[in-house]
Amino acid sequence: MKAFIGIDVGKEKLDVSWLRDVVKNKQKTKVLKNTKQGYQELVDWVLKNTGLEAQNIVITTEPTGIYSEPLMYFLYAQGFTLLHVNPGKAKQYAKSLGLVHKTDKSDATMLARYGHDQQHSLSSWQPEPVEARELKAMMRRLEALEQDLQREENRYEAVGFSGASARVAQSLKDMIAVLKAEIDKLKNEIDEHIDRHPQLKKNRQLLESINGVGEVTSRIMVCLLACKRFKSAKQLASYLGLIPKHNESGKRAGKTTLSKEGPGYIRAKLYMAAIVAGQHNTDIKAQKTRLLKQGKTKMQALGAAMRKLSQICFGVVKNQTEYQPQVS
């Protein structure tokens, strides 16, 4: 016998729903704080109400980054079976149930039902190795710093056009210098971290054997492939939002675009890598030529290049072999 729990994770609270009766759709709910004390209260509440051991309890959540990860690590250590649901698929599942009103409570119940219905098709969540977790934290910091730098550079450019205060311009210039220095320092530390761990280092070398993949893209993909366990290249492309989406209504009816779900930061880096690969990678050049001859737009061909590049990255890491072009 198993019990199914859904948790909607917010910044400050956890909305919990225990699916007491699947057929009659009966559930029992609880709201707890998203703190270490709240995690222990959650475990006590679940074990007391279900009357089961932790290994017989399936808990389903959606990934919410820094707000959900501490909870997942805690629950994993307690022995629960954990399922991490793709937000896009959870949304589709909610539509299939005919859910109209979206609340934290209803989301938690939906996740519990999703875990019940999809338990055999979903892989249980496991924490990444310590070195991958540290790399992920540093990569997140790098992403934040680069975004801060872009904002400050935009402000500096605006000040130049408007001819505003010289003091403001100098402040922005100083901040830009500080951010650039910190970004360079952090990149060096990330590279040193990768070099200290043989598997991460090897994966990066394999990724950089791909024409079009340089230090920026390899740094990102090493982290992504170390932290997430993708079953296939298609699953990776789907996670990155690189799967074609057919538009059936509005001005875009009949046109195909990328789904653009998942991390936009990684997608932006792959965009630049795909442009380079379109010039120097024989496989991607050949694909681009073929698609353009078929009447695809340049943007559609570039989207396909991003998808193929991500799939090649997956392949070299999974097979632990350097990239071998199919087209000479």
Q: Looking at residues 45-57, what average pLDDT do you find?
A: 95
Q: Looking at residues 246-251, what average pLDDT do you find?
A: 58
Write down the pLDDT at residue 119. Answer: 85
DSSP 19-72: EEETTTTEEEEEEEESSHHHHHHHHHHHHHHH-S-GGGEEEEE---GGGTHHHH
Write down the pLDDT at residue 85. Answer: 86
CA dihedral sign, ordered 280, 324, 245, 89: negative
pTM of the model: 0.81
* 234 CA to centre of own chain: 15
Percentage of the chain lying above the pLDDT 70 cut: 96
Tell which wins on pLDDT, 230 or 256: 230
Tell which wins on pLDDT, 124 or 143: 143
Q: What is the pLDDT of residues 72-101, one digit of tens each?
A: 999 999 999 999 887 777 788 878 877 767
CB atoms within 10 A of CB 185: 11
Query: Which residues have CB under 8 Å from 113's CB, separation 6+?
Result: 4, 6, 19, 22, 97
Query: Which residues have CB under 8 Å from 3's CB, separation 6+?
Result: 18, 19, 46, 50, 52, 56, 57, 58
Rounded CA-CA distance 200/128 in Å is 13
Find where tokens 């311009």 sit. Answer: 169
Rounded CA-CA distance 234/308 in Å is 10
- The pLDDT mean for the chain works out to 91
